[in-house]
Amino acid sequence: MGKVINIQPITRIEGHGKIVIRLDDAGNVADTKVHVQALRGFEQFCVGRPVEEMPRIVCHICGICPWAHHLASSKAGDGCFGVTPPPAAVKLRRLMQSIAYVGDRILHFYFLAAPDFVIGPDADYSVRNVVGIVQAAPDIARQVVKMRQQATTMLEHFAGRAIHPTFSLPGGVSKPMTEAERKEMIPLANELLEFSKFSMKFAKDNVFPKYLDAIKTLGVIEVGYIGTVREDGTHDFYDGKLRLMKPDGSYDDFSYEQYTDYIGEWVEPWSYQKFPYAKKWGKLNLSLDHPTGVYRANCLARINVVDRMATPLAQKELEEFRAAFGRPAHLTLLYHYARLIELLQSAETMVELLNDPEITSRDIRAKVEPKAGRGVGCIEAPRGTLIHDYTCDEQGLITNVNLIVGTTHNNAAICLSVDQAAKLCIKEGKYDQGTLNRVEMAIRAYDP
């Protein structure tokens, strides 16, 4: 029995996990496991809660993408009570989601992922972090912090809370936007759009070219993809139908309510996180040589499944991306590239919505009466498709909850990517801390 390498905690990600790599006697990788150790039990403790309280309970699933859970839950609540929110409420929900997205994408790219690219994957861990970034590129760091703060301020001034919001409810939202609030936000939004454009250019000029080799060697897994598209196949963060794409690029489109026909969840004895898989593609197989049933979510998945982006600048970037990497693009590190294309779309959407006169309408909440029902609410969170499925009784109290959340979709793919990275990087017992960090980079790409 060879050596065991414990990489714990997995760092610069937003969860709790441990990578265990077992080497054989020759020092080559025999087996790699990613153990997800957290379990909180939202599916159980939400039972009994009033449907209208759910958006402000389940946002606590994730402090990085609380808005996504908040909105998926509101949509599930709309479904339970059988109500359609007025158009302005939907626009305000979309606006909040776009602002939160911009803040989130900036955070991940510069603070969590960039240390590997800007400081370098082999640098000592004491400098390979956000503090290192601040020292290496102080002007950019200052700008990043300022832009993030700006997104946060926009959310807080209008909706009270940037983290764990209370603004959206079944039937709509809690307050309208005044003309004064709209006017105050426009210049801030324009500035964020300019910074998003800068980030895209900065990455394409300075970051991606240097690491193109790493991008090409650190893992290609040919698996499927999931994302939300509008009726005509356009990218949409907030609403549409689900599209599940096979590794060869063919796909099925289906409505939210049909998700159980297409997605199953498998339990492995070595992880608390379940393994969603594409039911129609056969049984889940996690072998690196012949994976089956495995699909990925999050930005690269969305960029692969959509026919086009929703906004002009993002569409231009998609065309360039597809010309270079094809569709579907399978290189794991392209997640970073795809993330910035989505940053651009979020920023453009934000500006677009703020210039829509209907956004200041006072009609922002449909009449809601408790009744028995079921609602499946989906949202594209930064980390992937959220599925919130609620059933309630005649008093509008929850009787059943099912949740499949962003990173969970990626569980199987993350395991494959980490196994692959370990096998590529560790040979004949030779590895150092830089090697092990490269293994973690495979997981970081998914921004779990």
Report the site for another protein in 393-422 (rule: CB under 8 A): 395-397, 400, 402-404
- In angstroms, rounded to a whole number, what is the distance separating the alpha carbons of residues 91 and 182? 13
- In angstroms, rounded to a whole number, what is the distance separating the alpha carbons of residues 369 and 77? 11
CA-based angle 14:19:21, to the nearest 5? Answer: 165
Site for another protein in 335-394 (CB under 8 A): 362, 364-365, 367-370, 389
Of the two residues 4 and 186, which places its CB atom closer to another protein in the complex? Answer: 4
Q: Which stretch binds another protein (CB under 8 A): 105-113, 209-217, 230-238, 331-339?
A: 105-113
SS3 call for 373? strand
Distances (CA, A) of 293 to 189, 404, 445: 41, 16, 21
- In angstroms, rounded to a whole number, what is the distance separating the alpha carbons of residues 438 and 58? 33
Number of residues located near another protein, criterion CB under 8 A = 109
Closest to 311 (Cα-Cα) out of 199, 205, 197, 201 = 197
CA-based angle 142:143:148, to the nearest 5? Answer: 100
For the record, the structure tokens of 125 come out as: 């861990």
Site for another protein in 120-159 (CB under 8 A): 125-126, 128-131, 134, 141-142, 145-146, 148-149, 152, 156-157, 159
Of the two residues 356 and 393, which places its CB atom closer to another protein in the complex? Answer: 393
Q: Count the helix, strand and coil residues of the chain and give each as a percent rounded to the nearest 5.
A: 50, 20, 35
For the record, the structure tokens of 385 come out as: 């498709």
Of the two residues 263 and 309, which places its CB atom closer to another protein in the complex? Answer: 263
Interface with another protein, residue 105, by CB under 8 A: no
Site for another protein in 261-280 (CB under 8 A): 263-272, 274, 276
Q: Could you tell me the smallest distance in angstroms from the CB atom of residue 428 to another protein?
A: 16
Among 28, 140, 164, 372, binds another protein (CB under 8 A): 164
Q: Could you tell me the smallest distance in angstroms from the CB atom of residue 188 to another protein?
A: 14
Q: Could you tell me the smallest distance in angstroms from the CB atom of residue 166 to another protein?
A: 4
Q: Could you tell me the smallest distance in angstroms from the CB atom of residue 79 to another protein?
A: 15
Site for another protein in 4-63 (CB under 8 A): 5-12, 14-16, 18, 20-21, 33, 35, 37-41, 43-45, 47-50, 52-53, 56-57, 60-63
Q: Could you tell me the smallest distance in angstroms from the CB atom of residue 416 to another protein?
A: 18
For the record, the structure tokens of 262 come out as: 């297409």
- In angstroms, rounded to a whole number, what is the distance separating the alpha carbons of residues 340 and 199? 7
Interface with another protein, residue 160, by CB under 8 A: yes
Positive or negative, the Cα torsion across 226, 229, 231, 234? negative
